[in-house]
Structure 1
Amino acid sequence: MSKKRLKVLLIVEQCNPDWASVPLVGYNFFQEINNLVDATLVTHIRNKSALEKHPEYEKTIYLEEGKLAKQYYKIVEKLTATGRINWPMYHALNYPLYEQFNQQVYQKFKGKILNGDYDIVHAITPMMPRYPFKVVSVCQQTPFILGPVNGGIPFPPGFQKTARQEFVQFNFLRAVGRALIPGYAETYQKAHKILAGSQYTLNMLKDLFAIPDQRIDLFYENGISEEFLNQKNILNKDISKINLLFVGRLVPYKCADIVIESIGKLEPEIQSKIRLSIVGDGSEKNNLENRVKELNLGEIVSFAGWVNQQETLDFYRKADIFCFPSIREFGGAVVMEAMACGLPCIVANNGGIGEYVNEETGFKIEPISREYLTQELTSKIKLLVEDDRLRESMSAKAIEKAREFAWENKAIKIVEIYEKMLGEKSVSVST
């Protein structure tokens, strides 16, 4: 007799296979969990056109927004996107739009939850630990799981200039939100299980809400798709050079400038052996291009601009070393992708990316100061360029480590958490 599939309500406000970042992560979680359980997806109407390309997702509920909300959304986009996005302000101004969705989820599903229609309620996005979920108030008998949530990571003390460029002065809005947003504390106090996407966020939430160990787990939000794990022979790879790679938005805290400075500090003999490709676009691109000219690195450093995911995959596969000294990275999906393609990774040890990389798969550098990070990055690049055996060993270990993050494996672990929660519920009821 086949095992009965769990009935799960998945709340994924941002769930879109055509978009990047959180909406794509939300979609990947939904897609793989949906393969293992009887899932009902509730999401925003903005995702409808993308999800309707997949008619197999029958149990999808789209929540509408009014004309006023649509106009407000456009205003928020304009106010916060002035070259670089002011993320603290963006999240604060976006809250009224999210709250409309939050209230609609509650009104539409509270009766079904109270009626026991679902075995589990799982809220996946938004992923930042700043927004409430009102349905937690009706989940007394139905286990409610939240996350993975990630964020709140501070800038390293030695990078305050970069912090100001990234609008750190608006971070007080987080504390204001925690104090004023209805249901925020209740969400974390009543959730049966919270998944935190980094050790920093886990510790922060435990301290803020006195959450006991058994109610919170470390669970990284990013995953790896099969196309990254299925290795293919690379045609046209330049084997006469060691190919370095940076992938990410060209904004101050991602620190592509530090990669360029590090290349500039290498001895001419090492420089002659390498190439650096910078994949991405953003407000710092002109400054970075000018710095390459100043350092006479035009023969070594090239800018690919923004490229789609398939082209990005080609860059990973043609590279040998991944350089990503971003100083404030919550998830850092690009590091997982690089590892999946067999690249030793050199990263800054602050946030999620410092937790993916270990001594077998690359190097993590303490972001003590800009000078120290640059110096150490130069040293690690030199070491990997000169030591073929070390590079090959780290490459093999990186692929092995990345397989742990395959989306299918992550979904299996999520369902195991569901089953454990239901088992604990049964024990508590029987006793």
Structure 2
Amino acid sequence: MVSEHKPRVLVIAEAANPRLTSVALIGYSLTNALREVADVQLATELRNRDSILEAGFPADQLIPVDNRKMQGLAFKVAKFLRGGESLGWTIYSAFYNVAYPVFERKLWHMLESRLKSGEFDLVHRVTPLSPTNASPIAKRLKQIGVPFIIGPLNGGVPWPAGFDAIRRQEKEWLSYVRGAYKFTPGLQQTRDRASALILASGHTYGEVVTTDARREKAIYIPENAIDPARFPMPQPKAPSKMLKLAFVGRLVPYKGAVTLLEAALPLLKSRRAQLDIIGDGAEMGRLKELVAQHQLESCVSLPGWIAHEKLHERLCASDVFAFPSVREFGGGVVLEAMALGLAPVIADYAGPTELLPDDCGWRVKFESADQLRAGFTEVLTQLADQPEEVRAAGDRACQFVRANFTWPAKARQIRAVYDWTLQSAHKPQFAFAFNPEHRA
């Protein structure tokens, strides 16, 4: 039984910006959706204020916290060590762990009297999404009796065996000792003091839920969702003799754009398929070389990045979303493609495989790069002869995402967690394709 009373919630989302992507977009989109089911105040970094207000978020529900000096210093040091902004994300996370507690301490000093007066029914930390960040505010909230919810948490998926060379190309040196994060001061106490833990992947669930007490307050909810306004219902597609494939992502080794092009070569050379690779990065040169070498200019497109608000138009022209990425935490781009009726073909590992119901697409098992490439060749060749099966899987994928993975649906799921935490409802159950609580 869900309470009709809207809970008064302080949402902490240090990263929340409608103009950005990834974590910042999740932080903003989820918080904005929660306004329909809760009385929300958003505490976020000052740098996000203008973008949030321009998007129509009410100024009286926004609490900017200025931690730009500390966060900027951490970013500059991490950027120097990483040699840029696109590689070595474990290094950035390590320095972010140092900067973030300063943000929360400033927030506590700003809101201490309001929290102690009972203005909020609970506090919900939405971002950072990483499970490696301690929350100093957890102890203070516990002392004054205000429930504290953390999540969705996701990250740290291990590199699959056989991909160590790619791991080094990504400058993921710190990932070899990532387990040291468990000794971060205050981290284990943060988890123990939380009233609910929203965990967004099977890997993170296994890392965080190490005691019976944590299991009782843990719930699995993936972090990603789609905005129905940006990804409207697709129009029926005209039958085509060619299998139309799409890929979206950074053109770096672990995302697998080159693997996909090589896997699709037999179909592309025989003009039984078209391939649209959307994105940019270090592997663009290699992709162009392969296209020229095999004279595929008429059936392979390399447009670079496309504005997020225009992405749906481009994707709607394809039938299959082919994504051989070997290390995705969440896989939001897979949900976006599914919402537009594309049937996914994905590497059977980490985030995307947890989002995909068995009848909505195809998973490719692998233990090496060669096996992954061969597996994609086999599946794509099979699908080229089964256009009706591809279309049916895409239709089912679209229906599944629109029922469970829109931001309004996500807000309703989180509201159910609020009611459970406030003891006005039982622990909720959701119809996801995967649930770590049900694993043998």
Q: Do the structures match in fold with TM over 0.5?
A: yes
Letter aligned with residue 253 of structure 1: Y
Distance verdict in 2 for CA 1:295–1:66, change over 3 Å:
closer
Separation of aligned partners in 2, 1:102 and 1:163: 33
Q: Report the CA distance between 1:240 and its aligned residue.
A: 5.1
Which of 165, 170, 176 is matched with 2:169 structurally? Answer: 165
Shift of 1:210: 5.9
2:92 pairs with one of 90, 93, 100? 90
Q: What is the deviation of 1:382?
A: 1.3
How does 1:408-419 map onto structure 2 within 5 Å? 408-419=408-419
Aligned mate of 1:186, from 180, 184, 189: 189
Task: Measure how far apart 1:213 and its partner are.
Answer: 2.2
Aligned residue in 2 for 1:379: 378
In structure 2, the partner of 1:27 is 28
Structure 1 residue 172: Cα displacement: 4.4
- Confirm whether residue 147 of structure 1 aligns to residue 151 of structure 2: yes
Give the drift of 1:353. Answer: 0.1
Q: 1:422 — aligned with what?
A: 422
- 3-state DSSP of counterpart to 2:30: helix
Q: Which amino acid aligns with 1:168?
A: E
Q: Which of 189, 205, 223 is 2:208 aligned to? A: 205
Identity %: 28
Q: Which runs of 5+ in 1 are unaligned?
A: 427-431
Distance 1:239 1:66, change over 3 A: closer
The answer for unaligned runs of 5 or more in structure 2 is: 427-440
Cα distance in 2 for partners of 1:154, 1:123 equals: 25
Q: For residue 160 of structure 2, what is the amino acid of its counterpart?
A: P
* SS of the residue 1:293 aligns to: helix
Residue 232 to residue 175, structure 1, CA distance change in 2 (3 Å): closer
Q: 1:322 corresponds to which residue? A: 321
**In 2, are the aligned partners of 1:258 and 1:325 still within 8 Å (CA)?**
yes
d(CA) in 2 for partners of 1:332, 1:104? 33
Q: CA deviation at 1:29?
A: 0.5
Letter in 2 for 1:85: L
Q: Supply the distance in 2 between the matched residues of 1:175 and 1:317 (Cα, whole angstroms).
A: 41
CA shift, 1:297, in A, is 2.9
Deviations 1:260-295 (A, max 9, x none): 110124485xx3121100001112211222233334
Matches within 5 A, 1:350-361: 350-361=349-360
Offset at residue 206 of structure 1 (A): 1.4
**Residues 1:149 and 1:59: Cα distance change in structure 2 (over 3 Å):** same
The TM-score with structure 2 as length reference comes to 0.89
Q: Does the 8 Å CA contact 1:113/1:138 hold for their aligned counterparts? A: no
Structure 1 residues 400, 55: CA separation in 2 closer, same or farther (over 3 Å shift)? closer
Instruction: Please say which of residues 73-82 and 192-201 is displaced more in the overlay.
Output: 73-82
Structure 1 window deviating more from structure 2 (321-330 vs 85-94): it is 85-94
Query: Alpha carbons of 1:370 and 1:211: their partners in 2 closer, same or farther (altered >3 Å)?
Result: farther
Return closer, same or farther for 1:315/1:23 CA change in 2, 3 Å cut-off.
same
| RMSD between aligned residues | 2.3
1:313 shift after superposition: 0.9
Aligned length: 420
Q: CA deviation at 1:342?
A: 0.5
Provide the rounded CA distance (Å) in 1 between the counterparts of 2:219 and 2:92.
28
Separation (CA, whole Å) in 2 of partners of 1:199 and 1:260:
30
Aligned equivalent of 1:303 = 302
Distance, in Å, in 1 between the alignment partners of 2:305 and 2:239 is 22
Deviation at 1:228, TM superposition (A): 5.2
Q: Distance in 2 between matches of 1:17 and 1:240?
A: 39
3-state SS of 1:330 partner: coil
**Aligned CA distance change for structure 1 residues 130 and 32 (closer, same or farther; 3 Å):** same
Matched position secondary structure for 2:111: helix
Of stretches 75-84 and 134-143 in structure 1, the one that deviates more from structure 2 is: 75-84
Deviation string 1:164-189 (CA, Å, 9 cap, x unpaired) is 2123321145333331x322111111
The match for 1:116 is 118
Query: Using the alignment, how far apart are the partners of 1:391 and 1:68 within structure 2?
Result: 50
Cα distance between partner residues in 2 of 1:55 and 1:219: 25
What is the identity, as a one-letter code, of the residue corresponding to 2:415? V
Which residue pairs with 1:393 in the alignment? 392
* CA apart distance, 1:233: 3.4
1:80 aligned to which of 65, 79, 82: 82
Q: How does 1:330-369 map to 2 (within 5 A)?
A: 330-369=329-368
SS at structure 2 position matched to 1:175: helix
CA-to-aligned-CA distance 1:32-63 (integer Å, 9 cap, x gap): 10122111110001101101212524221101
